[in-house]
Amino acid sequence: MGTFLQVEERDRGGVTILQVKGQMVSDHGGIPLCKDIKALVEHGRAKLVFDMHDVSFIDSAGIGALVNSLLCAQRCGGAVKLLHVPARAGQLLKLCGLDDVFETYESERAAVESFRPH
C-alpha cells in the first residue's frame, strides 16, 4: 500500500513553504492538496514553495495539482516555485513542457529570495 500525501506548512519571510511527503497521485476524489492551496491563496498567502524532497512518486494528477496551484497563486499575484524536485518529477515536467513554467531550486534560501524584487 502506498504512502498518503502529507503536507507540512511553515512561513519563511512571507513565503509559505509546503513540505510535501509521500505520493502525489489521484485518490478517487482528486488530490486534496488543491483545495488547501486555494484556501491559502484566498487568505493572502500566494507566494508558495513546494519542497518535494520527500515525494516518493508523482503521476499526472500530481503534475495537474502543481499546475492548478500555480494558476491559483498567479490569479492573486503570487507564484509557485519548486524545491528539491525528484528526478522522476523533473522528467515529467519536461515531458509535459512545464520545465520552463516552474522555477526550480536546490536551496530553500534561494527559493525564498527569488520572491524578493530585484
Cα distance between residue 26 and residue 46, in whole Å: 24
CA dihedral 38, 114, 108, 71 (to 10 degrees): 20
**Structural domains in the chain, sorted by start:** 6-113 (3.30.750.24)
46-65 pLDDT per residue, tens: 999 999 999 998 988 889 98
Residues 6+ apart with CB under 8 A from 64: 31
Q: Residue type at 39? A: A
pTM for this model (two decimals): 0.90
2-46 pLDDT per residue, tens: 557 888 999 999 999 999 998 888 764 446 677 788 899 989 999
**Which residue's C-alpha cell is 505520493?**
23
